[in-house]
Amino acid sequence: MLNYRPKMFDEASKSHASKKLFVIILCFIAVFIVVIVLETLVSGIVSWAPMKDELANADTEHIWQESMEASKKVMSDPKIMVPTLIGTVFGTLTAMFYCRFIEMRPIRSMGAVKKRCIPDYLIGLVIGAALMTAIVAMSNLTGASKTVMCENVGYGTIALFLLGFFVQGMSEEFIFRGYLLTTIGGAGYHTAVGVGITSVGFALAHAANPGFGAVPFINLTMFGVFAALYMILTDSIWGVSAIHSIWNFTQGNLYGISVSGSADTESVMRTSAVSEKAWLTGGEFGIEGSIFTTVALGIGIAAVLFLLNKKAAKAAPAQ
């Protein structure tokens, strides 16, 4: 089932990129560094003044720790966080530019196809929201956390966050799945190789986030596996982009949970930890670092593998 090759891999095989896996990974690292620089530039511009004020009286002996705390505080301001999220559009644009003009392959080979783009996106929104809701429900039902409604909710601000996460989620998908996964698949490697490398790479990209550790690494890798398999199943990037975006938005701005260790933001509800066990609550990293996320993603991966198996069986030539 993991040897199933979607049409986008065949399209990506027309690439002028090297077919050597080591070279593919090195090129990706170079592109990823460019993306980080461009996105950091946007974040740096909007956060420069408040960060300067926060660190005016910082203790130089603990400058790293104080910088991290100041950054988390500054990023809790929607006037900083929303532009930062929207600034991640450089990830999508850079990945598209590299694939189209360096690898010389069509954008549709990244899964950016017109067919069923709107239905796929809408279905992805439902799946992503359902997954995060199931995770929060498990956490609440077991007494690991408690979710309550917020008062004086700023729905206008929340709408801006939704827009920002639409951009941010799509950006990470274009980088890791639209670009790297299809490049590896197009080079002729087994589908499992592309899924594995992109998933681990996706998890490691969050290694500097507050609270990152073993369980968050496992869960982020599992999310990467789920995302890659879902994209292969649908042969489109739109559904998985929607899943990623609404997963983050639902987590942060509906249920009020830290998204991958980021600062708390405006939300409809607020979820607080009851248990002191980080493996149940996710600790500082947020619920993405909890065992409940592991369970939900495990079920999600099994479901997608089942559907992929059925699709592969239908596609196989009759004996």
Domain count, the chain: 1
Residue 127, CA distances (Å) to 53, 71, 112, 173 in order = 41, 32, 19, 16
Taking the model in full, what pTM does it have? 0.94
Checking if the pLDDT of 319 tops 60, the result is no
At 1, the pLDDT band (50, 70, 90 cuts) reads low
1 assigned to some structural domain: no
How far apart are the C-alpha atoms of 283 and 277, rounded to whole Å?
8
Question: Tens of pLDDT along 55-103?
Answer: 777 776 667 777 777 777 788 889 999 999 999 999 999 999 999 999 9
pLDDT mean over 207-236: 96
252 assigned to some structural domain: yes
Token digits for 265?
């933001």
Question: Tens of pLDDT along 99-124?
Answer: 999 999 999 999 999 999 999 999 99
75: domain range? 7-315
Question: Tens of pLDDT along 134-156?
Answer: 999 999 999 999 999 999 999 99
Checking if the pLDDT of 312 tops 50, the result is yes
193 in Cβ contact with 20 (< 8 Å):
no
198 in Cβ contact with 181 (< 8 Å):
yes
